[in-house]
Amino acid sequence: MEITIIGLPQSGKTTIFNAATRGSAQVAAYANRINLGAAKVPDERLDVLNGIFNPKRKVNAEVTYADLPAAPEGLGKTQSIGGEYLNTLQRADAILMVARNFDDPSVPHIADSIDAFRDIDTLLFELTISDLDILERRLQRVAEGFKGAKTAERDALNREQALLKNVRDNLEAGVHVRDQTLNHDELRLLSGFQLLTAKPLVVVVNVGEDRIDDIASIEQRLADEVRTERIRTAALCGKLEMELGQMDTEDEFEFRESLGIVGESGLSRVINLCYEALDLISFLTVGEDEVRAWPITRGTSAVKAAGQIHSDLERGFIRGEVVTFPNMVSCRTLAEARKNGMLRQEGKNYIVQDGDIMHVLFNV
């Protein structure tokens, strides 16, 4: 899964990218290339299973981040989003939006003042304008398609036109596509347009080191004004998290303790928020070769989950042997779990749950 990071110029989005990936991408206003990086999804269950099975390797699920440079035409000027910048955003599985909440006279804000919530509104408006442009262009093509269309084709065009107009009207009223009530068929039709306001969104307010004490109040306001079922929000100090991310684990923990910011790191926080926004869970596989976490969308069936491991497992799926993580910890081996009646036999339509440990039986 790929998360694309956007923000107004000088928002510190590359700093957030470095914090999330433990990277060292150049933090500069003139950077003009996409930074790519991956981050392992933290999962304490894998650490426990690694201790039980002592495999050759432990494989966490991963999130890939793409840190976009400022758009050539500049965001925040209602000139819409286009070209390769738009194409990159459309390929993303989710968008991470960074808004600035730090003072730095050497790096002036494009609006000459600091207001993170104003900037969030500006960026959301830019995404909306982009979607409206796409919808209007498609509506024009649909209107042209009526000329010479046969009855069945006209019926399909009428349905599409009605849907696009409804989505457009809701967007103009301030309702993003992700928050509109749409059925499965409508969502499938719209998916081909890769509308930006349909994508899961994570909003991060990048706080200055002198405003760390304000994080709790900022997060409360984010929860009240920005957060929805498919928008996740957080406030963190990107500069500090980036510096901490360059330390080894023990030094990082000690430094966090000295600053009184023990708990989840910025890296883990952002990754977990992206996981939530995408409605992802992890199922696990175990063995002598590896213990591994596999990301899947919540509600995925056993046969589709098997396909994440290998297409042959989906094609020749017979059944899944499933044990919960707590039962695996208590039994220590699959054989013992089977002996104690804790290893269940599940068919292809079983809905895999977060933390399920699954062994797939197949035949091709």
Contact 43, 282 (CB under 8 A): yes
For residue 32, the model assigns a pLDDT of: 67
d(CA 345, CA 229): 33
Residues 185-195: tens digit of each pLDDT = 999 999 999 99
Strand 94-101 to strand 201-207: parallel, antiparallel, or no bridges (unpaired)?
A: parallel
For residue 322, the model assigns a pLDDT of: 98
Of residues 260 and 147, the one with the higher pLDDT is 147
Contact 278, 297 (CB under 8 A): yes
d(CA 95, CA 203): 8
Q: Of all residues in the chain, what percent carry a pLDDT higher than 70?
A: 94
Q: Residues 315-340: what's their mean pLDDT? A: 96
